[in-house]
Amino acid sequence: MSPTLFLNPRTAFLLGALVASPALAQTPVKTFDLEQVTLSPGGQHSLVLTTGDVLEKGQLRLFLAAQYQHKPLVFVRNDEIQGAVVGRRWSAHLGVAYGLTDSVELALQLPVILSQGGDDLSAQGIAPVAGTVLGAPVLQGRIVLARQSDSAVGDIGLNLGLSLPIGSSTGLTQDPGAGLAFNPGIGFGHNFGSLLRVGAEVGAVIRQSERLSSYSNRIIDQVGSYATLGATVSTLGDGLRGEVTARALVALTQTMSAGEVLVGARYPLPLNLEVFALAGPGIGKMPGNPAFRAFAGLAFRPFPSKPREEPKETPQEPTPVVCPACPVCPTPAPAPEPTPCPAPPPPAPPPPADSDKDGIPDVDDACPLKPGVPAHEGCPPPEPPKPPYAEYEEARISIKDQVRFATGKSDILPESFPLLDEVAKILKEHPELVRLRIGGHTDNRGTREFNIKLSQDRAEAVRRYLVERGVAPARLEAKGYGPDQPIATNDTAEGRQRNRRTEFISNSKKK
């Protein structure tokens, strides 16, 4: 076997023993699913691997991608490459993923081979593969077992997949035997701040083994079950994002091993669209692993993820009092002598005027136009002094209520203006507070990227308000922590309400 053969990145081989002699009739390649990569349908962080993440409940993601593979299957005779059985393969991949709950995601992928072909190997007795065929649909399910936001070491999820026997045997899109392939796996992911995420996936493809040649026992000529080991590093944020993913395919039955490296990027577009692409080389000798692979596609999320605010209770209107109807004289029972109906009572005199409806007649009401109480001659009692909204204690400004914002936005509601006015007053009265950190926090509803940005925008809004009230900008720092520092559980409405908060903490004092 020549050194060039082993160093060549073409990663799938058929032995020359596939035919006895060129004089034999052309033999179709024995069926197996040539495809070794399925895209991550939810696509939260990696385009290829699932790293313990799923779509939120009710979220939907649709994607359409085109793929090109270069020389995924070549023919070898006497340790020399005679030509490519499949030298080029163009396919389309349609996928849909849906968040059944916040911890369960269901998905379906459908590949379609648009065009494939290779070298003329009729002299070797090898028939060409079918050009345009339907691929094997893949059903997928993912379940979250642990979350980093719940103080776990990272996101952990169970992945389950099943390739259905609907592919084409002549187009190399159906596995041997019953055509079924089971794809279990475990995914893990961990965010480092708001910029970087690392992930890993360990899985397997369980399918029936098949020897592609009837004349050789060499494992280079066989396909079967294999384990998948993957690692990925991806960036986070709202704009352009990138990722680098490495995959290794380790033989579990008599077949060769292989691997590949894919470099990808994605960019959001208007109308909840996202464009993505990834490409990279293959390494190894497993049939189906190409010398080069590239994807390009478009994804659509009709329902963008947003944090959900708990609805406030609407006070019920008092039930109107319905006055009873005037009494009606009943019809007397039959009697020898009818009893005359008694005369109706005289109408009651009208009640004295009470303009403010407080039960005190206007003639005795010192404040006839304002509801009041008898103790104050019909006037309203004086309002007790309101407790302070904010207090300064031990280098910290504690607030007695939450700073309230518009749902999913950074607009401060007018009901929080008095509270922030007192914070500004305290800062002016205490110049020893050289620098104050305004910390914004959210609950864990919605994606972490959205919550980090929302909490930063809200902290900046509070800072601008205090600057407009005369506080020096240099004394204020805004920091958004998103869901990373909860003070209560996110499993209840009360706990999530407590976690959506704004804090004021001094960073330093004058000496």
Reported as a pLDDT band with limits 50, 70 and 90, residue 1 is: very low
Least confident range from 2-11, 304-313, 377-386: namely 2-11
pTM above 0.75, yes or no: no
Q: Tell me, what's the pLDDT at 336?
A: 60
Domain ranges of the chain: 59-300, 390-506
Are 211 and 6 in contact by the 8 Å Cβ rule? The answer is no
Residue 428 φ/ψ, nearest 5 degrees? -70, -35
Q: Tell me, what's the pLDDT at 415?
A: 93
**In the predicted model, what is the mean pLDDT of the chain?**
83
- Edge-to-edge strand list for the sheet holding 433-441: 390-393, 396-399, 501-509, 433-441, 476-482
Q: Tell me, what's the pLDDT at 398?
A: 86
Q: What's the whole-number mean pLDDT along residues 398-405?
A: 90
Q: Tell me, what's the pLDDT at 340?
A: 65
Digit-coded pLDDT (tens) for 95-123: 999 999 999 999 999 999 999 988 888 88
Q: Tell me, what's the pLDDT at 299?
A: 94
Q: What's the whole-number mean pLDDT along residues 455-464?
A: 95
Least confident range from 76-80, 95-99, 193-197, 448-452: namely 76-80
Token duo for residue 227:
């384990």
Reported as a pLDDT band with limits 50, 70 and 90, residue 19 is: very low
Q: Is the pLDDT of residue 16 over 50?
A: no
Least confident range from 207-211, 298-302, 353-357: namely 207-211
Q: For the domain bounded by 59-300, which CATH number is listed?
A: 2.40.160.40
Least confident range from 185-189, 203-207, 340-344: namely 340-344
Q: Tell me, what's the pLDDT at 324?
A: 52
| Other residues' Cβ atoms within 10 Å of the Cβ of residue 229 | 15
Q: What's the whole-number mean pLDDT along residues 20-31?
A: 56
Write the CB contacts of 249 (distance below 8 Å, at least 6 apart in sequence): 36, 226, 227, 228, 257, 258, 259, 284, 286, 289
Digit-coded pLDDT (tens) for 375-389: 778 888 877 656 677
Q: What's the whole-number mean pLDDT along residues 284-310?
A: 80
Reported as a pLDDT band with limits 50, 70 and 90, residue 393 is: confident
Are 39 and 93 in contact by the 8 Å Cβ rule? The answer is yes
Query: Is the model more confident about 326 or about 245?
Result: 245
Tokens 């592609």 sit on residue: 212
Reported as a pLDDT band with limits 50, 70 and 90, residue 391 is: confident
Query: Is the model more confident about 197 or about 17?
Result: 197
Q: What's the whole-number mean pLDDT along residues 352-365?
A: 86
Rounded CA-CA distance 145/147 in Å is 7
Nearest Cα to Cα of residue 230 among 192, 189, 196, 195: 189
Q: What's the whole-number mean pLDDT along residues 425-437?
A: 90
Least confident range from 7-11, 302-306, 427-431, 498-502: namely 7-11
Nearest Cα to Cα of residue 485 among 151, 53, 145: 151
Q: Is the pLDDT of residue 317 over 80?
A: no
Q: What's the whole-number mean pLDDT along residues 170-183?
A: 85
The CATH architecture that domain 390-506 belongs to is 2-Layer Sandwich (3.30)
Reported as a pLDDT band with limits 50, 70 and 90, residue 20 is: very low
Q: To the nearest 5 percent, what fractions of the chain are helix, strand and coil?
A: 15, 40, 50
Q: What is the 3-state secondary structure (H, E, C) of 6-75?
A: HHCCCECEECHHHCCCCCCCCECCCCCCCCCCCCCCCCCCCCCCCCCCCCCCCCEEEEEEEEEEEEEEEE
Q: What's the whole-number mean pLDDT along residues 1-25?
A: 37
Reported as a pLDDT band with limits 50, 70 and 90, residue 483 is: very high
Percentage above 90 pLDDT, the chain: 47
Query: Is the model more confident about 334 or about 296?
Result: 296
